[in-house]
A and B are shown apart, each in its own frame.
Chain A
Amino acid sequence: MSTTIALSSTAKRDLILIASILIRFLLFQFDNVTEILGSRVEIVTPVTSFRRLTEGIYLFQNGVPPYDGGIFHQPPLLLPIFAYIPTILTPILYTCLDLVFAYLIQEITRIKQQLYKDCPRSDGDEGEIEPWVVAGCYLLNPLTIATCLSKSTVVFTNFAVVASVYYAMKGNRSYAMFGIAMATYLSLYPITMVALIILLLNQNMPGKSIAVHCIILFIGWLSGLIGLSYLLVGSWDFLSATYGFILLLSDLAPNIGLFWYFFIEMFDQFRNFFLVVFQLHTLIFAAPLTIKFRDHPLFAVFVLGGITAVFKSYPSIGDASLYIAFLPIYSEIVNYMRYSFLITNIFLYSSLLAPIFYHLWIYAGSGNANFFYAITLVYSIGNIVLLVDATYAMLRREFDVRNPELKGREVTQK
């Protein structure tokens, strides 16, 4: 009996793997699909657009400084990567990144299950999720597939984050810090996860103080990357064109986030104030989450990833696909979540209506900007409810695990 289950399990795994590769390769064959997805505001933003990257490479190769203008806002090291990779290999690169990501998240799940093997359990727990299912969830997530097909460069950031988490859990200090430095270099916001990566490293070697060493490593890698970029483009303009652009929000192109319409409509004299408030609000959760979940840094990575995906200045569904990938690892909290049905519906509702409302506003002219704005609010609320509910479930389960004697009693917050 057990052998047949194992067989069918591996068969399912292989089936999912083959299906996800096939879907990607097939859809990459249609230029229309990649072009449409590559220009959807929900999927690509000014800081991840492959079209803008192509423009940057074109300018770079023709001797025009790419950062001396308002079109290209991605870090310089992406330029040589795509300048020398033949166009035909780009789909293969993106597919491979997704597959390796899936492999890493599967390994992360395995290591996590090993780590918490001996911890007490809650009565509500079902059997542990199989690691390949986590990988499958990532590979078949429509958000992931759309991001991959759009050739959005957020894929690189996601990959760097997950690789950093993987190496942190394996205990490889240098690689882990390089991963998070790379992610920070690529899109700035992952800097909030540095402390969590150090905590993850610490789980492997409790008692040893590695924080200082890790921070030095992080600063070293990051300055190395930035120095290399300087050597590549020969000026510091890229700092203001990439990180300044992310922080100051000079392009108000619509996306699924909260910034764009707010700052289109904002009165000029309050713009700077709200910009500071909004950016701080995104970054500030790093500290309390790290402290609260110091025993579960992996879970904090999920929550911080989610906060970044909702509250960053140029979010896309690619950011959501990163943090949602971490959710199935904590399958044990699903029973404690209260709003799963609502969350599912909000996600379906917003993914259906966002393209329609955008079309009504921009192309049909029969709707106005408020239509799309409303759906971005709905999408944000969906993510927020998911994050809050997952955090609640995690804490509630912890409470049950710690206080098995209180089972069945009504519980409140104090």
Chain B
Amino acid sequence: MWQPYRLVYLLLFNQILLISIYSAKTSDQFRENLIIKPLPDGKVLTHFEFSIHSSNVDESDYDLFPRSIGQIFQTYKARELHLTFTQGRWNYEGWGYPIAPSAGTGVELWAWLWKNENLDKNWRSLTNALAGVFCASLNFIDERSTVQPRLSFRPEGVYIDSELFNSAELRYGSLPHENVCTENLTPWLKLLPCKSKAGISSLLNSHKLYNSNFHSMSVHVQPVCQQKECHNSQLEILQTVSTVFDPVRESGKRDWSLYQLFDRDITRACPLAIESNIVLMLPEVEDYSIDPEPFSIQTVDSTKRRFGVYDLTKSKTNFKLMMKWKEAFFEYDINPIQPDVYAHRYFTGFGQEHGGIKVNLFNRNPTNSINIQYCDVIPWYLRLYMHTLKVTVNGNEISSGPSYPIKQLFYQLAVDRSRPSVMEANISLPADTITTLSIEFDKAFIKYTEHPPDANRGFDVGSAVITTLSKAESKWDSILYQQTQDGIYTETLLISLPTPDFSMPYNVITLTCTVIALFFGSMFNLLTRRFVALDSENRDKK
């Protein structure tokens, strides 16, 4: 009879204890946000953002900040770390710019590491450790694919310009052929305080996420500041998942609901989150209905874009959300609004010997020229000829002079089997033009062991990255930056290299050696033996 009472007391006591522990440790702040944006072509972008700010991350004390990442970050002396898994390609012309800079197809990793004598070893260890954490082939980012861009990939966390370049170095590597799947998502989810048990992250259903047009998942660890003076900089881990769904494909209409997209509803906010919002970017036209209506509607001052906010901490019941358009079926807009800057890259030429790369850089801004940083990493087996670099603007070749679009050019030559070529340029794109860069290359003939098992599929060449710094803004004062960079990623490319006959090694060794032996034997014979006349006796014996 008395037992239930005691149980209730015990539970109550435990609850009080737990609450007091959490309130004592207020160091880490967890925020979760889901941004939903209906795209102009009827697709729906869902962008999840989970961030944890921690002011004291050291080796012993972890609160909400994931220990596995924190330890890797500390051990390998990283200053900033960005890892992105992407499947599919972001369609810049149809969708505009992504909310978080999406990476090119495959896996992209870049980090600023503190300078010391073990920096390259740390980078190798970092890639290996992350490979273990995320079940990805990141350990294949070796010196053959690692580069140090000079213009692109500035830090995204706070930094002091003069201090950074003396004390840290950038390393960048990508694996364009890497597939992203559930086995990468599961460890990613485990980094979250509520896993996928509660809150916004409970929507992350891998069956639905990988059944989409575009999927990008990332982890960013970087130092941030809360106040202007930046007395105590915090470490932030930002985890994002961006997915583009296509409701039109299924129903012919743009209507969507959370349940339809993810096969789930949100039961409650994550109790550990201090902020738990669903943000719906409201379309400019008004022929839609949302259920339920947003709890509050906010407006971005500069662009007049409105968005509705649902604060999940105030929602007591299961949270459902749906959006309906007042139309029988969706009609595609034939002339979508294009973003200012976008790019396409492709191979030219034919045959397996020579080829070329062409990049079209579009500036659709009718009045302003735009400065971009172009960064292209080309594997060593494409031997670039820099003297064939041609720049055309709207089809007219420009080779020098003030109108020459390339203002600054860094070029690192490839070394066979050890490092790729890197071409980085500071390019000024004139208003309303197409600037085209083209360069020729020779394809290398590589050993039969260097071909992948599916040799005739070809080799992947990672995306070129275009960074526009037009948005660069110093938030606080002149020496402390936190830039917003827009990365525009071009297509990854697939190139087939000339293949040998893989079944032939023994035949080739035998045949070539026979030819050499033929010469050696005959020559040896001629050089060591003398001519003699056969006398009559010898002939008779014969």
**Contact between B523 and A264, CB atoms less than 8 A apart:** no
Residues on the A chain within 8 Å of B351, using CB: 362-363
**Contact between A410 and B445, CB atoms less than 8 A apart:** no
Shortest CB distance A186–B (Å):
22
**Contact between B532 and A58, CB atoms less than 8 A apart:** no
Say whether A406 faces chain B, with CB atoms less than 8 Å apart. yes
Residues on the A chain within 8 Å of B532, using CB: 411-414
Contact flag A263-B447 (CB < 8 Å), given A370-B504, A388-B523, A391-B523: yes
Instruction: Say which one of A62-70, A101-109, A110-118, A142-150 lies at the interface with B.
Output: A62-70
Say whether A252 faces chain B, with CB atoms less than 8 Å apart. yes
Task: Map CB proximity to B onto A311-327 as digits: 1 under 8 Å, 0 otherwise.
Answer: 10000000000000000
Instruction: Say which one of B162-170, B321-329, B413-421 lies at the interface with A.
Output: B413-421
**Contact between B445 and A250, CB atoms less than 8 A apart:** no
Interface residue count on the A side (C-beta < 8 Å):
63
Q: How far is the CA of A331 from the CA of B387 in the complex (A)?
A: 47
One of A253, A261, A289 near B527 (C-beta < 8 A):
A289
**Contact between A250 and B416, CB atoms less than 8 A apart:** yes
**Contact between A281 and B529, CB atoms less than 8 A apart:** no
Residues on the A chain within 8 Å of B444, using CB: 251-253
Residues on the B chain within 8 Å of A292, using CB: 527
One of B416, B512, B527 near A262 (C-beta < 8 A):
B512
Say whether A165 faces chain B, with CB atoms less than 8 Å apart. no
Main secondary structure of the interface of B (DSSP, over half): mixed
Q: How far is the CA of A387 from the CA of B518 in the complex (A)?
A: 12
Say whether B314 faces chain A, with CB atoms less than 8 Å apart. no
**Contact between A370 and B529, CB atoms less than 8 A apart:** no
Say whether A208 faces chain B, with CB atoms less than 8 Å apart. no
**Contact between A58 and B529, CB atoms less than 8 A apart:** no
Shortest CB distance A262–B (Å):
5
Interface positions of A from 361 to 376, Cβ below 8 Å from B: 361-363, 365, 368-370, 373
Say whether A13 faces chain B, with CB atoms less than 8 Å apart. no
Residues on the B chain within 8 Å of A294, using CB: none
Shortest CB distance A303–B (Å):
8
Question: Chain B: which residue is nearest A263 at the CB level?
Answer: B447
Question: Chain A: which residue is nearest B381 at the CB level?
Answer: A70
**Contact between B501 and A71, CB atoms less than 8 A apart:** no
Q: Which residue of A263, A265, A391 has the most chain B CB atoms within 10 A of its CB atom?
A: A265
**Contact between A381 and B518, CB atoms less than 8 A apart:** yes
Residues on the B chain within 8 Å of A413, using CB: 525-526, 529-532
**Contact between B449 and A268, CB atoms less than 8 A apart:** yes
**Contact between A70 and B413, CB atoms less than 8 A apart:** yes
Q: How far is the CA of A377 from the CA of B519 in the complex (A)?
A: 12
Question: Chain B: which residue is nearest A292 at the CB level?
Answer: B527
Say whether B516 faces chain A, with CB atoms less than 8 Å apart. yes
Interface positions of A from 260 to 308, Cβ below 8 Å from B: 260-268, 278, 281, 285, 288-289, 292
**Contact between B508 and A262, CB atoms less than 8 A apart:** yes
Smallest CB-CB A-B distances: 4 pairs: A69-B413, A58-B387, A70-B416, A413-B529
Which B positions have Cβ atoms within 8 angstroms of A? 350-354, 380, 383-387, 411-417, 421, 442, 444-449, 498-501, 504-505, 508-509, 511-512, 515-516, 518-520, 522-523, 525-534, 539
A377-B511, A388-B519, A411-B532 are known; give 19 further A-B pairs, CB within 8 A.
A69-B421, A71-B413, A250-B416, A251-B445, A261-B500, A264-B500, A266-B447, A288-B528, A368-B501, A369-B499, A369-B501, A373-B508, A377-B512, A384-B519, A387-B523, A388-B523, A391-B526, A403-B533, A413-B526
Which A positions have Cβ atoms within 8 angstroms of B? 39, 51, 54-55, 57-59, 62, 64, 68-71, 250-254, 258, 260-268, 278, 281, 285, 288-289, 292, 310-311, 361-363, 365, 368-370, 373, 377, 380-381, 384, 387-388, 391-392, 395-396, 399, 403, 406, 409-414
12 of the cross-chain contacts (CB-CB < 8 Å) are A54-B387, A71-B384, A265-B509, A281-B520, A288-B527, A369-B498, A369-B499, A369-B501, A384-B522, A413-B526, A413-B532, A414-B532
